[in-house]
Amino acid sequence: MTARVALYYAPAASDPLTAAGAAWLGRDIVTNAPVRQPDVPDIQAITAEPRVYGFHATLKPPMRLIGGWRPLMSAVREMTAGIAPFDLPRLEVADLHGFLALRETSPCPPLQALADVCVEHLDPFRQPPGADELARRRSAKLSAEQDAMLVRWGYPYVFGSWFFHMTLTRRLSQPEKAAIMPAADAWFAPALALPRRVEDVCLFTQAASGAAFTLAERFRLRG
């Protein structure tokens, strides 16, 4: 089975950040339709990788599903019933190991707690990774802690290794970053100036390997 599901944070449909992110990456996460990108050098190429995943921040990493779609939906509803909405710190365009991404500008314990509970609560629905996937992940020279997370949770960057990020580009060279980062700052500045709350989580699906992830359903935080 090659289909995968993931639980992501994505700003509300009415949030200007949603339209800004869709245009920057060149794809609408709901319709999967292309969106005209800003006039930035090589933007189609440098956004090709994050375009597949859509504009989001990962909470429960992509996983092959076991246990059925309906039980998964029930589990997400049960989980979100006990989580209260919270304010998201202001975001900014940041250099993340050579990638550009939106990062929070101050610590947000409720955000970390949300990611933690998503990973743990939905893990019974995760098909364990195969040997090829484990080898591919380990080629990134994981720390001992990250390798332990990979074995236990199927992904190395969870719990203490997790960090909020909304990926905007592939890894950039220094000359590329010098040109692209000011453009990204200017493009996202109007939306990032607005306050926002985390009021739901989003279930994304990927029909087959290499296919684009699309938004299947939003689940309100009702705690």
pLDDT at 107: 95
Convert the pLDDT of each residue in 145-199 to its tens digit. Answer: 998 999 999 999 999 999 999 999 999 999 999 999 999 999 999 999 999 999 9
pLDDT at 1 over 70: no
d(CA 87, CA 196): 6
Q: Identify the helix (H) or strand (E) that includes residue 62.
A: strand 57-63
pLDDT at 130: 85
Place of tokens 């956004």: 47
Convert the pLDDT of each residue in 8-60 to its tens digit. Answer: 999 999 999 999 999 999 999 999 999 999 999 999 999 999 999 999 999 99
Convert the pLDDT of each residue in 101-120 to its tens digit. Answer: 999 999 999 999 999 999 99
The answer to whether the beta carbons of residues 147 and 138 sit under 8 Å apart is: yes
d(CA 199, CA 147): 32
Of 162, 132, 164, 127, which Cα lies nearest the Cα of 146? Answer: 162
Write down the architecture of domain 4-107+165-220 according to CATH. Alpha-Beta Complex (3.90)
Structural domain boundaries in the chain: 4-107+165-220
pLDDT at 209: 87
pLDDT at 2 over 80: no
pTM for the full predicted model: 0.95
d(CA 25, CA 46): 9
Residue 95, phi then psi, degrees to nearest 5: -85, 115
